[in-house]
A and B are shown apart, each in its own frame.
Chain A
Amino acid sequence: MNLRKFLLVRSWQILLTFFIVLTLLFILFRMAPGDPLSTIADPLMTQEEVEILKAQFGLDQPLHRQYVLYLWNFMKGEFGTSFHYRQPVVQILADRLPKTALLFTTVTILYALAGISLGKILAWKRGSLLDTGMSFLGLLTHTFFLPWLALLMIWIFGYHLGWFPLNGIVSPEIWLDPESGLFLKVLDVLHHMALPMAVLFLTHFGGYTLVMRSTMLETLREDYILTARAKGLPERVIRNRHAAPNASLPVVTSLGLSLAFSINGGALTETIFSWPGLGRELVSSVAHGDYPLAQAAFLLIAAFVLVSNLLVDIIYAYLDPRIRY
């Protein structure tokens, strides 16, 4: 299968998956107990506002017409108005998406790379003190309950030592001050990012390290490694050029498979650190009974997971020549 065909097939599957999720969400919200109107109209809205919404979402029409309207509204990016913020849902989400992407993408790249390079070294030095110690540490942090680790980190590094801010994404005194330059502002965001990133990093890198370590151990028993040794290649070259690229393929696969799981962790982290991203918005909209916002935030996160999966596929195709050619 060549690369183009592979990616076309995957994109098609991803679109189909998204469509199914979209449909399931429609069914779910129509199954909700009570008046379906309550899921799109705030009890505090005026009669006129409610009538407009009713017409827009076709609540006075048969179910199949409602479904078509639902899809049409989705295509137009029309998700209604948030009960809590009294703003169009799209505006709110457009503000939250980049913040989630910033935190999540940075930390995912970091722990994937750390897992691959650490696992590579541990497998190479298997049985050593470093191997035993780091494998155990990776396993331990991997099983830490994320919210608890976050609370511990806030308590120790935020409250006790005072090294990092307790929550939020920026300090208003720096961002509102016209004197402070771009560098200072970026530094401020990074300062706020440190703790949530550390929490996500610690709970994730261990899993990838262990996967990389075990696939690397298997790869090292392959005949072509023996050949490389017989040719008298330096150890470093055998490790980095011959063994590691092949061994890292399963790590990339597990990166794709565990994205959904990492998104859960991301939502918890955002909530605890008041990081104004999609996950926190979903959690708080569910708590507020803000249905339009909850629904749209969920769809956007689902799309985010699916697109990330496609990216992982592209990376995989790039790394595995059997797919590329």
Chain B
Amino acid sequence: MSGPATDSSKGKDSHGEYHKPGIHWLRHLGENWAIYRRNPMGMAGLGLLVMFALMALASFIPPLVDPMYHPMSGVDPEIDRSLGPTARHWLGTDFMGRDILSQLLTGARVAFLIGVSAAFMAVAIGTLVGMVAGYFGRAVDTLLMRLADIVMVLPGLLVILILSSVFGQLSVWNLVIIVGLLKWAGVSRVIRSQTLSLKVRPYVEAAKVAGASHSRILLRHILPNVLPLSFLYMTFGVTSAILIEAALSFLGFGDPSTVSWGMMLQWIWKTGHMFRAPYWLLPPGICISLITLSFYLVGRAMDEVLNPRLRKEVLEQ
């Protein structure tokens, strides 16, 4: 970055120079990956995520093999109760003879679907609100941040319970939207403080002098610089979305058109199988816990890449 004031007068060509420092994380992707790879916990998390992704893909196979492996409607004609693992049903069957393994695989698909899309909603809203609040400041900032404070003290699961008491059963997509609307606040605060420090940087000042509009500055100069942080918070958001869906389904308010890990636990609990069917109780709980753990580990490792201050060698000097 050299001579911002003189360069900006040259117009659009050199204008491109100014946001490049901002997206240097993209150019240094290889370098960042090298830092990430040095973190064994982060690599373990990534490995687990790949495993869950493969499970989600594999969920399409069982119903193709035989309709009795369909996670919701498939019932083994010879089994009408919960039985332990056999060659036909590798993880056993649930209380009405449905295959637990294919339910588990479908659960992975649902967890990814809900987790990623709800986290994306939350992070998109949070990034937008944070940038606007930080960039415009004053009354806009106060108003948006007070709103964030209010959203942050609401217990998300209970709010969703109240919503489903008023509107009845929530579909997966409604749930995604609601979780997005409930979980943006934390992200917006981080993005806001990042924006506050970015908007006084010389290249933003230069863009202003050159006559760039607010939306251009926000989109071309601020956004590329806050995106890595948004992406980081998305990994944490996925976890909380998956947990909320699982808890809601566990309490019996899940979308009945699909099976999720939380719902599997609800069936065990409600049918009283938790004392006699460990083959059924263990898999869904382990999956929810491990997917939470893996997103958390990936998030922490990414945090270290983005904040060199957090790296082990720095911390333990």
Contacts and interface: CB of A to CB of B under 8 A. Distances in A.
Contacts of B163: 28
Interface stretch (B20-28, B56-64, B206-214, B249-257): B249-257
Interface string B262-295: 1001001100001100100100110011101100
B269 A272 contact: yes
Interface in B11-69: none
A31 B168 CA distance: 13
B154 A21 contact: yes
Interface in B158-200: 158-159, 161-168
Contact of B288 (A145, A283, A291): A145
A13 B157 CA distance: 23
Contact of B315 (A25, A152, A217, A295): A217
Interface of A is mostly: helix
Contacts, number: 133
Contacts of B316: 126-127, 217
A291 B253 CA distance: 16
A252 to B, nearest CB: 16
A41 interface: no
A20 interface: yes
Contact of B153 (A33, A140, A259): A259
B281 A151 contact: yes
B150 A20 contact: yes
A225 interface: no
Nearest to B161: A286
Nearest to A147: B250
Interface string A135-152: 000011001111111011
A306 interface: yes
Contacts of B246: 145, 147
Contacts of A33: 167-168
A120 to B, nearest CB: 16
Contact of B289 (A144, A264, A282): A144
A163 interface: no
B162 A298 contact: yes
Interface residues of A, number: 57
B156 A264 contact: yes
Contact of B293 (A17, A140, A301): A140
Nearest to A39: B166
Contact of A282 (B146, B158, B262): B158
A264 B160 CA distance: 11
Contacts of A289: 165
B177 to A, nearest CB: 15
In the A-B complex, list the 4 residue pairs whose CB atoms are closest, starting with the nearest.
A148-B285, A264-B157, A145-B288, A143-B293
Interface of A: 13, 17, 20-21, 25, 28-29, 31-33, 39, 126-127, 139-140, 143-149, 151-152, 154-155, 159, 214, 217-218, 221, 257, 259-261, 263-264, 267-268, 271-272, 279, 282-283, 285-287, 289, 291, 294-295, 298, 301-302, 305-306, 309
Given A148-B281, A217-B316, A298-B161, 6 more contacts: A139-B293, A147-B262, A155-B278, A264-B156, A282-B161, A305-B153
12 contacts: A20-B150, A32-B167, A143-B289, A145-B243, A145-B288, A147-B247, A147-B265, A264-B158, A264-B244, A268-B157, A283-B251, A286-B162
